[in-house]
Amino acid sequence: SKKDINEIVAFLKAGPLDPNVEIVVGVPSIYLTYAKSILPNNVNISAQNTYKVAKGAFTGEISPAMLLDNDIPWVILGHSERRNVFGETDELIAEKVSHAIEAGLKVIACIGEKLEERESGKTEEVVFRQTKAIADKIKSWDNIVL
């Protein structure tokens, strides 16, 4: 909500913020321009999702070009909720990361196992699989944070 964003912004403005650290706040798409308008200049804004192609009939999706057109430089991709609730696969997430990077966005690529995967000792396998899917689609990790 705007109230929550206002509280986060007040906290960030109270500082101090380390000038050697890039701080990024990810908000739902409906609040991106609002949050950007009130965030301190030394704090960046991130979308929480984007799609894997530049344009087309993808109702409700936001393209990297749309984000960049609104001066949104970051996007979060592969969040566990997108994987678990919406069924996004490693392959789809890798395609999204690749397109976002090629379009000029910086990406926070979420990787990690579910609780049951951790409890069954599959953490390393899952993290490797998710990371490899991304690695196979990109040329550089320069603008990607895992």
Output the tens digit of pLDDT for each of the chain's 146 residues: 999 999 999 999 998 999 999 999 999 999 999 999 999 999 999 999 999 998 888 888 999 999 999 999 999 999 999 999 999 999 999 999 999 999 999 999 999 999 999 999 999 999 999 999 999 999 999 999 99
CA 32 vs CA 42, 85, 117, 143: distances in Å? 16, 22, 34, 20
Confidence at residue 56, expressed as pLDDT on a 0 to 100 scale: 84
Delimit the domains of the chain by residue range.
2-145
Confidence at residue 55, expressed as pLDDT on a 0 to 100 scale: 84
CATH tag, 2-145: 3.20.20.70
